[in-house]
Structure 1
Amino acid sequence: MAASSNPDRTAVVDGDLRLTTQQLSDLADGGAGVIAQSGAQHVAYVGIGGAMLPTLIFASARAGLSFTPLNYRLSAEGVQALIERLPEPVVIVDSRYRDMVGESSKRVLLSDEFLTAARSAEPATEGLAFPDPDSVAIVLFTSGTTSKPKAVELSHNNLTSYVTSTVEFESAAETDAALICVPPYHIAGVGAALTNLYAGRKMVYLPNFDAQEWVRLIDAEHVTTATLVPTMLDRVVTVLEAGGHDLPSLRNLAYGGSKVGLPLVRRALELLPNVGFVNAYGLTETSSTIAVLGPDDHRVAHSATDAAVAKRLGSVGQPVPGIELQIRGEDGTVLAPGETGELFVRGEQVSGRYTEIGSVLDEDGWFPTRDIAILDEDGYLFIGGRSDDTIIRGGENIAPAELEEVLIEHSHVRDVAVVGVEDPEWGQAIVAVVVPTVGIDPDPEELREHVRKSLRGSRTPDHVVFRDELPTTPTGKVLRREIIETLKGLHA
């Protein structure tokens, strides 16, 4: 559609490589031919992405095969274990990661070799039936921070439902450009490639994030929209605070991937008063975003004197078109607004299907997210963290997010994660792991008292420990299990 509508529009910028929509389509055609000739049953990719991601998404689809971008940040053993779970894959790999792949597949192509072959190959589209909308288009492995990574299956229908319900075709202006620095193996990377192409927006890739380079590219490519995870937003704010950057072309800045501290959001809003901020919440199993807090909501909440409206700045907004939400109690009953429970979602973009496991949707098509959440009276969704992260202290269930939201507001706290560690008396003790504000040496008792003033005494951290930084995934999710491992043996 993009190539037919505007074949000469620049679709992708990746370093020195620039591709029009027609060139990208031709490359995908040739790539499909290379894939078909390999005799493979699946396509895997190990690399930093950039132009390779949209090329392989469409080349794989045109060859009638499922596609899996893999996490190149894993160990060689980790990457090989995932490849071995894929059926007869052809593995396309950036040269720097070739050794990681080892002998896990008998079909391995370097990315440069694939692109060279794709430019001269005969297209594989002749005679191929259009893919069944319910067939698997993309398989993504979950991060597996608490268990063996699950292989999430996203159908063509899941993905196209997400794209067509959230984006209008060719709705972007001719000069619009998106700066993409989320990794290719994350659903946000896949979603960005599809939605920006569909909208008619130039995609500028920054595979290796650097805040100074991010700011430079915004100006150099006249970027109008960008997406960041919390750790990236923090670094960009640091660069902006140093001065000299107004980012005049930037109109929208989306953030997500994990919870963002409100002081950081407020600071970003103040530094970029003419930018529309978007908080996007979604899961791999839901084909990306299912709820959005839009620009107007950000500005209204930021300046609100009404406490209920101001609180919305900490929400992920309201569901996108085509998505239904329910909050359920432990007994499965649907809860009223303001009550805390597990978030369930339903809609065409929701897969809820895993290789080797099958569908986990209930009989009415609802997917259990395992996220603790609240819907307020006006339909704004507040995420309270994963159910797996709940701390049980003296028989009382405590959501870490509740304490984190209080602690992050203290001026001496730059970042914080609250976890539970084994405790002989209480079952679990509450530990606040704090990254202090630069140049500050906080008093643990002052931070405990700060929490005690806002929450019940039973929710006061038993311990406050300090770290230079929190361990996170590339998409900003705090690795709580890793933190807990470093705290073993800590008792009251």
Structure 2
Amino acid sequence: MSISLLLEMASSDPDRTAVVSDDIRLSTGELSALADGGAGVVAASGARHVAYVGTGGAILPLLLFASARAAVPVTPLNYRLSTDGLRALLDRLPDPLVVVDAEYRDAVGEGYRLMDSAEFVEAARAAEPVTEFADPDAVAVVLFTSGTTSKPKAVELTHNNLTSYVTGTVEFASADPGDAALICVPPYHIAGVGAALSNLYAGRKMVYLRHFDAHEWVRLVGTENVTSATVVPTMLDRIVAVLDADKVTLPSLRTLAYGGSKVALPLVRKALSLLPEVGFVNAYGLTETSSTIAVLTPDDHRTALASTDDGAARRLGSVGQPVPGIEVQIRGEDGSVLGPGEPGELFVRGEQVSGRYTDIGSVLDEQGWFPTRDVAYLDADGYLFIGGRSDDTIIRGGENIAPAEIEDVLVEHPHVRDCAVVGAEDPEWGQIIVAVVVPRPDTDPDVEELRAYVRTRLRGSRTPDRVVFRSELPANATGKILRRELVAELNATSSKEPA
């Protein structure tokens, strides 16, 4: 099934508002007509790929569907990259048409077939329409991984991968007539692509906030009667701060999903207390899996928060259970499938799982399982707990230590606002445990007190060897902590210290 069909199905109600972005408002019928014209622009250009550099909004769903109807893959790129970074990725795409927001035109530079985003929209209004239904197994979207630990990989997602995700997790036209989704995740992230496809299919008005600001986010929820939204952890933190300071309520909001990286439990509890009528959803997924593969539902949140049973209460820190159509396994280093409570590497399988990279090919095993490289475990009831990337494991004196285990304890200290635990080079132990702590305002945490706090709750080998303080943790646009940046800083500092 081509993603083109999602828009065609949604267009059965042509007058319904589909997209709101700044001063642009498009009905499903208008979006479909623009997509047909946009496909004509792409086809006339002769390009074999469409690239987009910009902050998104209405142009993102337009390019997704225009490219699909021209049977050409599309790639939204990280507009925050340097000129060299952008050009390095553009040069990996075959003969692209580059659609770029005006403010990023200079960053792209010369040497490409370029169109301004506004110019593309105007051209789409006048172009000869093209409607081609791509092969379901053809590549629809290519997304580059963040590349925080290595050269970015180009993940290939087929039409079938994406539509399997949407149709497997969303009921067609299931939204109420007044439902609206506020979208503020980056267009180059799988969550941005998934939001455009799934909300259109469900029948929700999509309200775009292209530049995140917590006060503006709260204002839009009110003015557009937003009923659902998705945020990353850094956004949730800032929204909670505004709600707490201004004593604002959000009566229209029914569902708030968060994901992209691990969220500290004190922040989750605070958000739940400020918005008791809102259903919170923790969504876990990867680029290679076409977005969400596991969900902690609103009922799961409420049950865990109210439970006096340790096992049930602990699920507030899980990512829930797999979505329909997804299978999961936890495997040991020898490849054996592990039982409940045993940590290992998470493998996933399903129609929405791609596991294919440009120039590399598929990394699925013979049975179709994808290695996520995430350390995880399942509890006895099938709730999935993510312990971080396998690359982040600290090896201290030959013992493997998961940073998340220590972070989950340390962040509960009343003087700790946020933290990240990493391994720094050490001549004696190989690596030592370093806790990088962001203190709560108006507190002055004591290093030895923090170390003792961890030691009394975990075995001694998990006690941080060092504690350092920062005003904030380095993170990318989706809230992932840039651990390699912290490690590089710590190792550089260590090498300068006198022997």
- TM-score (structure 1 length as normaliser): 0.98
Query: Match of 1:41?
Result: 48
Contact 2:182 2:207 in 1 (8 A): yes
Query: Match of 1:152?
Result: 155
Residues 430-468 of structure 1: CA deviation (Å, up to 9, x unaligned): 100000001111101100000000111111000000000
Query: Match of 2:127?
Result: 121
Secondary structure of the 1:337 match is: coil
1:396-475 counterparts in 2 under 5 A? Answer: 396-475=399-478
* Residue 91 (str. 1) matches residue 94 (str. 2): no
Secondary structure of the 2:106 match is: helix
Q: Which of these residues, 238, 246, 259, is aligned with residue 235 of structure 1?
A: 238
Contact 1:83 1:104 in 2 (8 A): no
Q: Unaligned stretches of 5+ in structure 1?
A: none
The one-letter amino acid of 2:60's match is L
Question: Following TM superposition, by how much is the alpha carbon of 1:364 offset from its aligned partner in structure 2, in angstroms?
Answer: 0.1
The one-letter amino acid of 2:471's match is D
Residues 101-125 of structure 1: CA deviation (Å, up to 9, x unaligned): 11242x1001011111111111122
1:64-463 counterparts in 2 under 5 A? Answer: 64-105=71-112, 107-125=113-131, 128=132, 130-463=133-466
* Residue 19 (str. 1) matches residue 19 (str. 2): no
Secondary structure of the 2:79 match is: coil
Residues 29-78 of structure 1: CA deviation (Å, up to 9, x unaligned): 11111111111000000000000100000000001100000000111100
Q: Unaligned stretches of 5+ in structure 2?
A: 1-7
CA distance in 2, matches of 1:203, 1:319: 26
Secondary structure of the 2:246 match is: coil
CA distance in 1, matches of 2:111, 2:38: 22
Contact 1:44 1:67 in 2 (8 A): yes
Aligned length, in residue pairs? 488
Question: Following TM superposition, by how much is the alpha carbon of 1:253 offset from its aligned partner in structure 2, in angstroms?
Answer: 0.2
Question: Following TM superposition, by how much is the alpha carbon of 1:2 offset from its aligned partner in structure 2, in angstroms?
Answer: 4.0
Contact 1:161 1:349 in 2 (8 A): yes
Residues 78-110 of structure 1: CA deviation (Å, up to 9, x unaligned): 0000000000000000010001111242x1001
CA RMSD in angstroms, aligned pairs only: 0.9
Q: Taking every aligned residue pair, what percent have the same amino acid on both sides?
A: 75
CA distance in 2, matches of 1:4, 1:357: 38
Question: Following TM superposition, by how much is the alpha carbon of 1:4 offset from its aligned partner in structure 2, in angstroms?
Answer: 3.4
Contact 1:339 1:374 in 2 (8 A): yes
Secondary structure of the 2:346 match is: strand
Secondary structure of the 2:11 match is: helix
Contact 1:278 1:294 in 2 (8 A): yes
Contact 2:327 2:348 in 1 (8 A): yes
* Residue 480 (str. 1) matches residue 486 (str. 2): no
Contact 1:2 1:197 in 2 (8 A): no
Residues 317-374 of structure 1: CA deviation (Å, up to 9, x unaligned): 0000000000000000000111000000000000000000000000000000000000
Secondary structure of the 2:456 match is: helix
Alpha-carbon distance change, 372 to 220 in structure 1, aligned in 2, over 3 angstroms: same
Residues 147-201 of structure 1: CA deviation (Å, up to 9, x unaligned): 0000000000000000000000000000000000000000000000000000000
CA distance in 2, matches of 1:164, 1:75: 37
CA distance in 2, matches of 1:84, 1:357: 17
Secondary structure of the 2:191 match is: helix
Contact 1:93 1:110 in 2 (8 A): yes
Secondary structure of the 1:44 match is: strand
CA distance in 2, matches of 1:123, 1:439: 61
Secondary structure of the 1:372 match is: strand
Contact 1:3 1:25 in 2 (8 A): no
CA distance in 1, matches of 2:323, 2:130: 36
Alpha-carbon distance change, 159 to 97 in structure 1, aligned in 2, over 3 angstroms: same
Secondary structure of the 1:362 match is: coil
CA distance in 1, matches of 2:351, 2:357: 16
The one-letter amino acid of 1:342's match is E
CA distance in 1, matches of 2:247, 2:240: 12
The one-letter amino acid of 1:266's match is R
Question: Following TM superposition, by how much is the alpha carbon of 1:21 offset from its aligned partner in structure 2, in angstroms?
Answer: 0.3
CA distance in 1, matches of 2:210, 2:178: 22
